[in-house]
């Protein structure tokens, strides 16, 4: 018999969960029926996306079941939350029907209970059971969070306690397993966190410490042992079931200065490094130092990472099984061409430095300067950025914005493309916004990217018309004006985007026709490489 896939396994798991989901939904409905009498509150939100895939071999949007067979797919989430006298109940139902979120070239189908939480606050103690979202410090040691754009849902399925010792000090502890689609990863994760908040004279300080323990299950250990035994004898080692990680952090504010510093260490464990399993400990340090007063703001950021891999097990790769979140030093640029080459944090080897300066000599002018330097600890160039931007408000009804970016991007490491050269590019850009009236405006944006690597040089243009608070209409084109060595065509291709959004009260509907080049997609500081997209996208969101 063919081996059962993970998709088949969690589809079967869904069926077992559905009865529990229905019972829990009935319980929430029962609570809802007595809302008026009990004076509790019920709230919720809904989000749905639908994709219609249009095959386009010219831009490489083809060759997988979505474009060749299914032609459509989507996903939806429904959240319900009920609060009453310190009691909180939350239920979320998830639906995936030929969705391309999990693996962009494969269809994911499943329906079931995506999350549920029961929480009660009594005096100074808050008890939570179910799907828990929380973090320690900046998230460097532990972060359970949701990022729907990349289908990351790292909820901890278990129990969480938080105790307010005094007005200035609290403790929290948790234990559980990390969510994996509609099931969980098998290893157990436990943690403890203590934080304080104090004023010492004119200085405000918020220190904290954290501890996390991960215990492997037998199935993962068996897979690890098998992989170690297949390696050369010189690289073999005896793995351990338990791994421990520790962090200490603080935020200090004094006058115009704010400083955040965090250091973390984890004990030795099996990690995937240089395509084999190695037994090593790890550490990471992260800090920001900011200064701000009228007319000027300066911020410095630094991060050093060495073998600081935090996963449910070394058997998981890419964005799967991550139990923490690595802060990124580079700025996430909203400009379309700059966003193509956004560097993701490296958990094996990274030394990153960044500096930001904002100058406002008067109320009409803002000038922004950024610099970013990222290398491996072995001094391999990963990323460089120099950025200058100016925004001027001195003309009536007009806002002018212009700037330039210089960038060096290690495509072989960030996009796992061996032997390709670093991308070196210059991107000048400008943007004009014209306020037609108090409710109507038109904005145009233009960028040019000059590079001889990857897909070569691009020009991007956008025109957007807004009628607040209801309508937003945008038309853009991204043209491969001088194709490079990896471009899908030796002649330039157009990547059109036509977008319409309508908002009425809490409801928002959007419809777009999209031709999207393959590349990096980043949301919330987490990046993923995605193939080209061609087709129509529809979205709806609402809250109540």
Encode pLDDT of 381-394 as tens digits. 999 999 999 999 99
The answer, yes or no, to whether residue 16 has pLDDT greater than 70, is no
Q: Is 204 helix (H, G, I), strand (E, B) or coil?
A: strand
pLDDT score at 35: 46
| DSSP secondary structure letter of residue 2 | P
Token pair belonging to 156: 């901890």
Burial class of residue 22 in the structure, from the number of CB atoms within 10 Å of its CB (0-12 exposed, 13-18 middle, 19+ buried): exposed
Q: What average pLDDT score do residues 310-338 get?
A: 91
- The alpha helices in 331-461, defined as continuous H runs, are 336-339, 411-414
pLDDT score at 528: 77
Q: Are 299 and 325 in contact (CB under 8 A)?
A: no
The answer, yes or no, to whether residue 331 has pLDDT greater than 80, is yes
At residue 326, φ and ψ (nearest 5 deg) are -90, 115
Q: Are 448 and 459 in contact (CB under 8 A)?
A: yes
Band of pLDDT at residue 24, cut at 50, 70 and 90: low
pLDDT score at 39: 74
The answer, yes or no, to whether residue 1 has pLDDT greater than 50, is no
Band of pLDDT at residue 527, cut at 50, 70 and 90: confident
Token pair belonging to 70: 């299914």
pLDDT digits (tens, 9 = 90+) for 50-69: 999 999 999 999 999 999 99
Q: Are 258 and 233 in contact (CB under 8 A)?
A: no
Band of pLDDT at residue 7, cut at 50, 70 and 90: very low
Burial class of residue 176 in the structure, from the number of CB atoms within 10 Å of its CB (0-12 exposed, 13-18 middle, 19+ buried): buried
Rounded percentage of the chain residues whose pLDDT exceeds 90 = 81
* CA–CA dist 331, 333 (Å, integer): 6
Q: Are 76 and 49 in contact (CB under 8 A)?
A: yes
* CA–CA dist 471, 234 (Å, integer): 65
At residue 172, φ and ψ (nearest 5 deg) are -145, 150
Mean per-residue pLDDT over the chain, rounded: 91
Q: Are 384 and 373 in contact (CB under 8 A)?
A: yes
The answer, yes or no, to whether residue 182 has pLDDT greater than 50, is yes
How does 186-199 read in b/e, with b if 16+ C-beta sit within 10 Å?
bbbbbbbbbbeeee
Instruction: For Cα atoms 93, 97, 103, give the angle at the middle one, nearest 5 degrees.
Output: 100
3-state percent breakdown (helix, strand, coil) of the chain, nearest 5 = 10, 60, 30
Q: Are 299 and 355 in contact (CB under 8 A)?
A: yes
At residue 223, φ and ψ (nearest 5 deg) are -65, -40
pLDDT score at 25: 52
* CA–CA dist 91, 79 (Å, integer): 6
Q: Is 340 helix (H, G, I), strand (E, B) or coil?
A: coil
* CA–CA dist 205, 349 (Å, integer): 31
Q: Are 333 and 339 in contact (CB under 8 A)?
A: yes
pLDDT score at 218: 96
pLDDT digits (tens, 9 = 90+) for 109-164: 999 999 999 999 999 999 999 999 999 999 999 999 998 888 899 999 999 999 99
pLDDT score at 525: 62
Q: What average pLDDT score do residues 398-418 get?
A: 94
Q: What average pLDDT score do residues 412-429 get?
A: 93
For residue 217, whether the previous peptide bond is cis, meaning omega lies within 30 degrees of 0, is no
Q: Which helix (H) or strand (E) holds 430?
A: strand 423-435
Residue 127 neighbours by CB under 8 Å, 6+ apart: 119, 120, 121, 159, 160, 161
At residue 169, φ and ψ (nearest 5 deg) are -135, 140
pLDDT score at 521: 74
């Amino acid at each position: 018999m063919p081996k059962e896939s993970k998709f088949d396994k969690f589809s079967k798991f869904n069926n077992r969960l559905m009865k529990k989901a229905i019972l829990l939904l009935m319980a929430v409905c029962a609570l809802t029926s007595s809302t008026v009498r009990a004076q509790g509150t019920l709230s919720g939100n809904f989000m749905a996306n639908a994709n219609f895939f249009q095959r386009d071999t010219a831009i490489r949007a083809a060759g997988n079941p979505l474009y060749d067979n299914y032609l459509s797919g989507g996903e939806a989430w429904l959240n319900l939350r009920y609060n009453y006298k310190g009691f909180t109940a939350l239920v979320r139902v998830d639906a995936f029907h030929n969705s391309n979120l999990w693996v962009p070239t494969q269809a994911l189908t499943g329906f079931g209970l995506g999350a549920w939480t029961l929480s009660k606050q009594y005096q100074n103690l808050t008890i939570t059971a179910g799907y828990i979202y929380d973090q320690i410090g900046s998230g460097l040691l532990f972060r359970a969070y949701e990022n729907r754009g990349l289908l990351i849902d790292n909820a901890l399925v278990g129990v969480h306690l938080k105790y307010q010792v005094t007005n200035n000090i609290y403790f929290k502890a948790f234990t559980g397993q990390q969510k994996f689609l509609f099931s969980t990863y098998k290893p157990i994760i436990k943690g403890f966190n203590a934080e304080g908040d104090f004023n010492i004279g004119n200085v405000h300080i918020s220190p904290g410490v954290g501890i996390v323990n991960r215990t492997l299950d037998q199935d993962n250990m068996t897979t690890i042992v098998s992989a170690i035994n297949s390696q050369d004898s010189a690289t073999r080692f005896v793995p351990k079931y338990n791994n421990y990680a520790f962090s200490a952090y603080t935020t200090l504010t004094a006058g115009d200065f704010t400083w955040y510093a965090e250091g973390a260490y984890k004990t030795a464990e099996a990690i995937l490094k240089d395509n084999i399993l190695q037994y090593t400990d790890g550490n990471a340090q992260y800090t920001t130092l900011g200064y701000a007063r009228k007319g000027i703001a300066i911020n410095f950021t630094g991060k050093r990472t060495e073998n600081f891999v935090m996963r449910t097990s070394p058997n998981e790769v890419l964005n799967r099984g991550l139990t923490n979140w690595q802060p990124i030093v580079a700025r996430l640029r909203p400009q379309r061409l700059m966003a193509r080459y956004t560097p993701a944090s490296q958990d094996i080897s990274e030394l990153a430095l960044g500096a930001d300066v904002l100058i406002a000599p008067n109320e009409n002018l803002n000038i922004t300067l950024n610099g970013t330097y990222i290398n491996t600890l072995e001094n391999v160039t990963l990323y460089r950025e120099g950025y200058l931007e100016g925004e001027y408000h001195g003309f009536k009804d007009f806002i002018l914005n212009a700037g330039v970016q210089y960038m060096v991007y290690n495509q072989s490491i960030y996009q796992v493309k061996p032997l390709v050269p670093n991308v070196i590019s210059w991107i000048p850009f400008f943007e004009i916004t014209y306020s037609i009236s108090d409710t109507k405006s038109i904005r145009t944006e233009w960028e040019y990217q000059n590079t001889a690597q990857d897909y070569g040089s691009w020009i991007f243009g956008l025109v957007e018309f807004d009628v607040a608070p209801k309508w937003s209409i945008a038309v853009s084109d991204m043209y491969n004006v001088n194709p490079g060595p990896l471009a899908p065509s030796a002649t330039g291709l157009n990547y059109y985007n036509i977008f319409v959004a309508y908002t009425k009260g809490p409801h928002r509907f959007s419809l777009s026709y999209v031709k999207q080049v393959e590349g990096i997609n980043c949301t919330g500081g987490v990046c993923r490489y995605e193939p080209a997209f061609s087709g129509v996208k529809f979205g709806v969101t609402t809250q109540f």
